Amino acid sequence: KLAIGPTIKDGFYYDVFFDKPISVDDLPRIEKEMKIILENGANIKKKITSKKEAINLFKKRKEEYKIQIINEADQEKDFQIYEQENTDFIDLCKGPHLPNLKKIGAFKLTKISGAYWKGDSKNEMLQRIYGTAWRNEEDLKKHLDMIEESEKRDHRKLGRDLNFFHFQDDAPGSVFWHPKGWVLYRVILEYMREKLETSGYEEVNTPQLVDSSLWKISGHWEKFREHMFVSETEEKVLAIKPMNCPCHVQIFRQGIKSYKELPIRMAEFGSCHRNEPSGALHGLMRARAFTQDDAHIFCTKEQITSETKRFCKLLMDVYRDFGFEDVIIRFSDRPKNRAGDDEVWNQSENALITAIKSAGYEYELNPGDGAFYGPKLEFVLRDAIGREWQCGTLQVDFVLPERLDANYVGEDGNKYRPVMLHRAVLGSFERFIGILIENYSGKLPNWLSPIQVALASINDNCKNFVFELEKKLQKEKIRCKIDLRNEKLNYKIRELSMEKVPFVAVIGDREVEQKTVMLRELGNKEQTELKIEEFIKKIKNSCRI
């Protein structure tokens, strides 16, 4: 029985209920049958029906899922039915479809997963069959090669191999950070903290548990309740925060704020939790527990343009430091379900469009994908193999300050509502680290590498010299590791290479005597002999952003 089958980026899927479940081993047989069907080159016909007619068509085929979709539609006519010539196959679809099967190019069924009907775990489990279709075999091969490369770069495997982190069923959607992974996390945190301080942000910290009454006033309870973890105590319902915005408004509301104090830039590395469906969890990329590099700018309407420019410069500088030069900006306007009236949305959208144009950036339109309280800019990174990752956001919000009664005193002595700009650069630390690992295939830039250099001894006579050198490196704040194991040198180097350590300094009797090291860079078999001062200088230079 067929459920839904939309197109997605680079492909499609179809959710199907089978009496007897299929497996990935069945996909080649299905592909073979698809190719036989294509040989006919049958035409595809479309007809428009009423709700009643559409229901009757699918009743004959006992397609309960299609009937449910039609019944829940808020229309009484204009249901599009597609049928394949010389068969009894029909489908309900918004379309458009190709006019006939001759125009279908190269395709491949890629995988199978489970999917609850309507994404609700209370409903029956369906099987989701994924596929991809391209103009010709050459384009298909390019895409499949990219998928293969993506699998090699999978951050979950690399994170485990590099001993950065792991996941386990006892804490679904949460990360167990190992020492090396936590070093990487802290390096990024301190980098971001310094960037924000120099950009005029003040760091705050807000509670994890917040009474449901605040979420109800803000509108998040209605919108995000199903994704919140809640706890009841003393007849109160508390929610673990899924975002930081309402709490930041509470800080803004403490004391009287003057127009002279604006803009106020409030940042928090906020630990958030969202009750994501277990089937949607995907390592660091989709977690239940994560930390946002979140900030909110409280400003006047007149300051939106200058603050947008300022934020875009900060964001681009950060992405450049992490090695991302190719950034796409998308403008998302009002969604169907939203807070606030059209006048407020017109004001918000015009303000953001004016600001991004004034900042001199090109942007793409992404209709209907704004937040429920305001339009937004989305900043999308393109990685080393061409994949797109949406990370940064800037959202204009006139709604939340009104709902939570935030105001400032203007030059005329009257009270006004501030504009609230929601913004993030990385999005979440967890997801951004996953993107970094996959982008660099685990071989991180030296300034990010948890271990920047390893000192590998050839024999026990070198121990004291290695310890002295370790102290010198630590004094220079260079992250180092010593390897004094009684193993062959080639074995040590091979293992350190698998750990993606950028530099290995080999130390034997000769090096101890001459106060030198033999330095080998990751991916390069050649060794260079360096005096200790030259060695330390080289490592320090390599670790700069």
Task: Please list the active-site residues.
Answer: 245, 274, 292, 294, 296, 376, 422
- Using the Cα atoms of residue 101, residue 105, residue 106 and residue 111 in order, give the sign of their dihedral: negative
Which residues, other chains included, contact 247 with Cβ-Cβ below 8 Å and sequence gap of 6+?
206, 207, 210, 241
Please give the structure tokens belonging to residue 327. Answer: 């950034």
Q: Is 316 exposed, middle or buried (0-12, 13-18, 19+ CB in 10 A)?
A: middle
SS3 464: helix
**Runs of H (alpha helix) within 322-428:** 342-358, 399-403
Collapsing DSSP states into helix, strand and coil, what is residue 260?
Answer: helix
Q: Is 459 helix (H, G, I), strand (E, B) or coil?
A: coil
Evaluated on CA atoms 98, 99, 100, 102, the torsion sign reads negative
Tokens linked to 243: 């975002």
Distance of alpha carbon 117 from the chain centroid:
25
CA–CA separation, 374 vs 80, rounded Å?
33
211 by DSSP, 3-state: which? strand
| Backbone φ and ψ of 119, nearest 5° | 70, 15
Among candidate residues 348, 312, 316, the one with its CA nearest the CA of residue 333: 348
Enumerate long-range contacts of 509-514, CB under 8 Å, 24 or more apart.
509/458, 509/459, 509/461, 509/462, 511/462, 511/465, 512/461, 512/462, 512/465
Closest CA to 319 of 452, 435, 446: 435
Residue 489 corresponds to which tokens in the numbers above? Answer: 């040198």
Q: Give the separation between CA 92 and CA 429, rounded to whole angstroms.
A: 41
